[in-house]
């Protein structure tokens, strides 16, 4: 049996090696930093590498182990964060050169602090689309983030670097954000697990905003136990985020092995039909067959709900960047700039109506959970397109690619439902494509239970094709 490389080992495997002193935290951290230096020139997954900080933290972990003191659950495990998380003493660029003159962060984002309290070691910040307004992984300022499974293909966005880094084994776990699909699209393209929790579950304190009404934070990992363990660690109320809900944390790691026997599972139909999306259809068929799913639920109002999310995104995003649009118009990525300008010209009545439609759609969707516990839906219409591609077929009509990669994810985040992406492989192209596991609000445990069942059935994160010998 082939030994799993160190960079693809699970969190439990890494922590066991550290506890048994088969490797030191400094050695493990140095290993990942070296791997980043080797691969990042090709992948462009990291925008900031925190060498000194990481090694200093690793030394602290080694001293704790040496002294026999109590270890956190992630002691010595490296992680990365999307470059919209504040990292103390660094400028939070959020994928834009416009932020070069922004003040340095005085403290870490709260989720970084929670990860480090659990013993995890921050490796750095990962690449992203400008101001998180992106599904592709392309960035005119800092270069395109590559898909580890096929160079020259999109990693997905806007949490492009976090997904690419986790897929390539240069970060065992990573944090990202999801407004309209920015965790789930790159998870689908890069062949890893991605969790977008319920809106308001994870505090956004210390992160660069995009659309306050829709912004979520979440995680990427190569296994569900890893995802669950980290999710359990970073939960918790924080009053500085006005949308964060003060409710009891849930423990998902202890629940993921409960299986699916008592769960009512259906696939999404209607708007979510994969009739004209052959790659997504094959992925859905594999998952539904493994879950013995035959029931279909149609959710009325999905098209209207997605349209509402579009308008909310345009209006709130443009309002946030109004001053930049006035002063630094030509410093924007043209794709980002044009959409912000469009949002600035929308009438206020459209925004108000969109919020009303969003609530109407949410009520319709939530009613379906009286009939089922879990809904299965595609994550993306297709596998990763090639970098630079501009058009995509949507229901047999050629449409702009950039906004439509979130065709299946945007309606779910619009109403704040938890969703976990699990990977499949499209045999024809050899590229990954994911499927969403969607649960009622605050039931991330159900998403992760189903995803864990599927992982045990063989739906695991594929190892990237070795287009680079170091992968």
Residues 185, 381: Cα–Cα separation, whole Å: 10
Is-catalytic flag, 158? Answer: yes
Nearest one of 127, 168, 156, 230 to 32, comparing CA atoms? 168
- DSSP string for 327-368: H-GGGS-HHHHHHHHHHHTS-HHHHHHHHHHHHHHHHHHHHG
Give me the sign of the Cα torsion angle 302, 307, 311, 314: positive
CB 123 within 8 A of CB 48: no
Active-site residue, from 25, 96, 127, 158:
158
Four-point Cα dihedral 26, 29, 31, 32, nearest 10: 180
117 part of the active site: no
Task: Scan for tokens 């170091």, then name that residue.
Answer: 470
Distance of alpha carbon 231 from alpha carbon 436, whole angstroms: 17
List the one residue out of 138, 120, 109 whose CA is nearest residue 333.
138
Spot the catalytic one: 155, 160, 182, 419: 182
Contact between 188 and 159 under an 8 Å Cβ cutoff? The reply is no
State whether the Cα torsion 246-120-162-12 is positive or negative.
Answer: negative
Do 47 and 112 meet the contact criterion of CB atoms below 8 Å apart?
no
Residue 82 bears catalytic tag: yes
Determine which one of 57, 82, 267, 286 is catalytic: 82
Contacts with 180 (C-beta within 8 Å, 6 or more apart), sequence order: 135, 214, 309, 313, 406, 409, 410, 413, 414
Q: How far apart are CA 212 and CA 221, in angstroms?
A: 25
Pairwise CA distance, residues 318 & 323, whole Å: 9
| Catalytic site positions | 82, 158, 182
């Amino acid at each position: 049996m082939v030994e799993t490389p160190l960079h693809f080992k699970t969190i439990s495997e890494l922590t066991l090696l550290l506890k048994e002193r088969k490797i030191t935290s400094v050695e493990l951290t140095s290993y990942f930093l070296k791997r980043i230096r080797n691969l990042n020139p090709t992948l462009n997954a990291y925008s900031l590498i925190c060498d000194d900080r990481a090694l200093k933290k690793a030394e602290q972990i080694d001293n704790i182990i040496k002294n026999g003191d109590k270890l956190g659950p992630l002691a010595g495990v490296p992680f990365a964060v999307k470059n919209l998380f504040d990292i103390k003493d660094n400028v939070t660029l959020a994928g834009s050169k416009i932020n070069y003159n922004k003040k340095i962060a005085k403290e870490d984002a709260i989720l970084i602090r929670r990860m480090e309290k659990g013993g995890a070691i921050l490796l750095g910040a990962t690449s992203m689309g400008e101001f998180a307004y992106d599904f592709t992984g392309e960035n005119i300022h800092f270069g395109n983030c590559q898909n580890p499974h096929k160079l020259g293909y999109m990693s997905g966005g806007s949490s492009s670097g976090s997904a690419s880094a986790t897929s390539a084994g240069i970060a065992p776990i990573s944090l990202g954000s999801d407004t309209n699909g920015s965790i789930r699209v790159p998870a689908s393209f890069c062949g890893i697990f991605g969790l977008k929790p319920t809106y308001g579950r994870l505090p956004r304190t210390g992160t660069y905003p995009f659309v306050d009404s829709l912004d979520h934070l979440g995680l990427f990992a190569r296994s569900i136990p890893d995802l669950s363990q980290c999710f359990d660690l970073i939960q918790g109320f924080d009053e500085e985020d006005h949308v964060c809900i003060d409710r009891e944390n849930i423990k998902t790691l202890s629940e993921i092995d409960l299986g699916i026997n008592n769960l009512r599972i259906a696939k999404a139909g209607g708007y979510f039909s994969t009739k004209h999306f052959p790659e997504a259809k094959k992925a859905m068929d594999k998952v539904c067959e493994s879950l013995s799913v035959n029931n279909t639920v149609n959710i009325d109002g999905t098209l209207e709900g997605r349209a509402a999310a579009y308008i909310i995104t345009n209006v709130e995003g443009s309002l946030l960047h109004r001053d930049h649009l006035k002063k630094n118009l030509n410093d924007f990525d043209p794709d980002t700039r044009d959409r912000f300008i469009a949002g600035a010209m929308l009438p206020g009545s459209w925004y108000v109506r969109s919020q009303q439609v969003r609530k109407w759609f949410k009520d319709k969707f939530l009613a379906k959970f009286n009939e089922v516990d879990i809904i299965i839906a595609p994550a993306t219409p297709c596998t990763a397109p090639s970098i630079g591609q501009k058009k995509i077929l949507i229901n047999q009509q050629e449409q702009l690619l950039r906004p439509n990669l979130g065709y299946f994810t945007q309606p779910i985040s619009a109403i704040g439902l938890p969703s976990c992406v699990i990977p499949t492989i499209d045999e024809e192209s050899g590229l990954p494509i994911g499927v969403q596991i969607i649960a009622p609000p605050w039931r991330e445990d159900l998403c992760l239970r189903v995803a864990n069942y599927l992982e045990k059935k063989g739906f695991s994160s594929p190892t990237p094709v070795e287009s680079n010998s170091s992968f």
